[in-house]
Amino acid sequence: MAGTASRAAFEIVKGEREVRTLSEAQVEQCLDLRELLDGLRDGFRALELGEVRSPSRPEVVVPGKGFSLAMPAWRPGAQLCVKIVNVFDGNLGLGLPGHLAMINLFDPDTGAATCVMDGTYITGIRTAASAVLSVRLLARRDARVVTIVGAGVQAREHLRLLPLVRDFERVNVCSLYPEEAERLAARTSFAHATDDLAAAVRESDVVCLATHSARPVLDPDWVRPGTHVSSVGYFPPDGELPRELAERHRLFVECADAFRPAPVGCAELSGADPATAATLGAVALDPAAGRRDDAEITVYKAMGIGMEDMVAADLAYRRALRDGVGGVMLW
């Protein structure tokens, strides 16, 4: 309209805008692990209430090398979050992590970029934190012995987080690579490595599967009544979690997408009935939806969802703004 101060679309350009940047070390500096656990609990509640937008993750495969997943998510009050995670197993031989990720945040009012941060640390810590949140919500209150199966990134992060949810008296670390289990356990005063997996599982109140195994890593009969089992490994078409455990006992998942085919869902749950499972969000909203008694075996199977990245990235971004952490680039 003539006489107005508005400009036509062809007259508007983005120009240069400042975008905060956070390295892997800076992201770790800005993430408080207790805040992350509480943030994920609230995120699962919001997911259960339908407040989180997180569409299924598309996959691009590079034959013989690896694959790339895109994981967007948003909820009111948070930044729009899009993570790209690339899983290339051969990286370990090159001195690089097998999972590499980058996260972009955007202003939910305008869609303008606000932050570019490393997502590699977040991918590891939020996966372990969600599994450890399942321990907080589902393990017996008197749980004192835990076994971590694996000695990789996930095992390392579980070892950091587990003491925040229970006063464990004994932490066993088991791996196909005993020397790596020894080095991991040596990082703490309360963990020890063992090569007798069956004995470790049999004495445990909590068992955390954190491997990259293409086949089940334990015998379901080793798991004693009252145990909570969590599993974060991903290796379709099978994986680390024995299907019998998920079929015989109370099953908990992040959301119903866990039952979809990989790469969206969990390989170990293919063919299972979604109606047999409850979500962590349901338990976070109502503890009565969780463990029913001290003899029950509970099982949590993770697939990794965009909500978890969103929660972690938003927490890191807010702390970075508050404390002046990170750099600035022009976009």
Q: For 213-264, how does the pLDDT look when each residue is reduced to its tens digit (9 = 90+)? A: 999 999 999 999 999 999 999 998 899 999 999 999 999 999 999 999 988 8
Asked if 63 and 157 touch (Cβ cutoff 8 Å), the reply is no
Q: Are residues 60 and 159 in the same domain?
A: no
Q: Are residues 269 and 222 in the same domain?
A: yes
Could you tell me which residues are beta bridge partners of residue 231? Answer: 209, 301
- Answer whether residue 135 is part of any domain: no
Query: Cα 247 from chain centroid?
Result: 23
Tell me whether residue 324 is in a domain. Answer: yes
The answer as to whether 32 is a domain residue is yes
Judge whether 1 lies within some domain: no
List residues bridging with 106 in a β-sheet.
80, 113
CB-based burial label for 318 (10 Å; 0-12, 13-18, 19+): middle
134 domain-assigned: no
Domain membership flag for residue 61 = yes
Q: Which pLDDT score, from 0 to 100, does residue 295 have?
A: 98
Same domain, 106 and 227: no
Query: Is the pLDDT reported for residue 133 higher than 80?
Result: yes
pLDDT, average across residues 132-148: 98
| pLDDT score, position 4 | 52
**If you compute the radius of gyration of the chain from its CA atoms, what whole number of angstroms results?**
21
Q: What is the CA angle 252-181-163, rounded to 5?
A: 50
Per-residue pLDDT at 1 exceeds 60? no
Cis peptide before 55 (omega within 30 of 0): no
Please give the average per-residue pLDDT across 301-306, as a whole number.
96
In this prediction the pTM is 0.94
Do 68 and 168 share a structural domain? no
**How many percent of the chain have pLDDT more than 90?**
92
User: Which residues have C-beta within 8 Å of that of residue 250, sequence separation ≥ 6?
Assistant: 278, 291, 292, 296, 297, 298, 299
Q: How many CB atoms lie within 10 A of CB 284?
A: 22
Residues 166 and 265 in one domain: yes
What integer best gives the mean pLDDT of the chain?
95
Task: Say if residue 70 is in the same domain as residue 174.
Answer: no
Provide the domain count of the chain.
2
Q: Does residue 12 lie in a domain region?
A: no
Which H, E and C letters describe 252-290, residue by residue?
EECCHHHHCCCCCCCHHHCCCCHHHEEEHHHHHHCHHHC
- Are 256 and 276 in contact by the 8 Å Cβ rule? The answer is no
> Is the domain of 104 the same as that of 157?
no
**Together in a domain, 76 and 146:** no
Domain encompassing residue 311 = 18-122+307-330
CATH, residue 244: 3.40.50.720
Q: What counts of helices (H) and strands (E) characterise the chain?
A: 9, 15
Report whether pLDDT(119) > 90: yes
Q: How far apart (Å, rounded) are the C-alpha atoms in residues 314 and 318?
A: 6
If asked whether residues 276 and 149 sit together in one domain, one would say yes
Helix (H, G, I), strand (E, B) or coil at 23: coil
**What value, to the nearest 5°, has the Cα angle with vertex 272 and ends 269 and 273?**
130
Q: Which residues contact 37 (CB under 8 A, 6 or more apart)?
A: 129, 132, 133, 136, 161, 164, 165
Tokens of 80: 């729009």
pLDDT for residue 239: 95
Looking at the structure, tell me whether residues 60 and 199 fall in a common domain.
no
